[in-house]
Structure 1
Amino acid sequence: MSKFGELIDVKVPVLLDFYTEWNDQSVNMHPVLRDVAAAMGDKAKVIKIDVEKNRELSEALRVKGLPTLMIYKNGEMVWRQSGEQDANTLIGLLQEYI
């Protein structure tokens, strides 16, 4: 869990994507997240977290629906949503926290 703290306690906004490879909506988000990461460059981080490999973290954050997307800024969660989102929406949200 301490590694998670290091991931989110940074100056730029961090978009987390909790996913699994067997969930179609999660898989559909992969290219969207690539686009978001490319558009944001070093102004934000995009991190994908496989719930199968990170059960403890997923349970601690009460991740139920997949994909679950969260934005952290300076170690604090500032936005959370379950389900698919489009790249423009996510880019707009991240830009609010730069």
Structure 2
Amino acid sequence: MATTAVTDATFEEEVLKSDLPVVVDFWAEWCGPCKMIGPSLEELSEEMADKVKIVKVNVDENPSAPAQMGVRGIPSMFLFKGGQVVSNKVGAAPKAALQSWIEESI
């Protein structure tokens, strides 16, 4: 299962009401580091599909959700469990580091 694009309109349904823990990647088209971690997040979303859902929010197209979360820099990733933020990570990281962070947080 590839990452899902989430909008301000679908954020509550896809993230806050999800039965699985959800990693939200706040990103933008012009952000170099965002593009660097994109493929790693795609791979992790397939490898860890039974444990976690990974979604992406384009901050340029959806300003409300990142504002709500206090996102200041991108890429910013937030891990939600039961509708609550349990962990967050700012900046690009190698796939192994992303995977460790997700596993420790879920």
What TM-score do you get using the length of structure 2 for normalisation?
Answer: 0.81
Deviations 1:41-85 (A, max 9, x none): 232101011001111111111111110011001101001111012
Select between 57-66 and 14-23 the one with higher mean Cα deviation.
57-66
Which has more helix, going by share of residues? 1
Confirm whether residue 79 of structure 1 aligns to residue 94 of structure 2.
no
1:54-65 superposed matches below 5 A: 54-65=62-73
- Identify unmatched segments of 5+ residues in structure 1: none
By how many angstroms is 1:97 displaced? 4.7
- Identify unmatched segments of 5+ residues in structure 2: 1-7
- Count how many residue pairs are aligned between Structure 1 and Structure 2: 98
Q: Which runs of 4+ in 1 moved over 4 A?
A: none
Could you tell me the percent identity over the aligned residues? Answer: 28
Could you say what the CA RMSD is over the residues aligned between the two structures, in angstroms?
1.7
Confirm whether residue 49 of structure 1 aligns to residue 57 of structure 2.
yes
Alignment partners' CA distance in 2, 1:97 and 1:82: 15
- Match of residue 69 from structure 1: 77
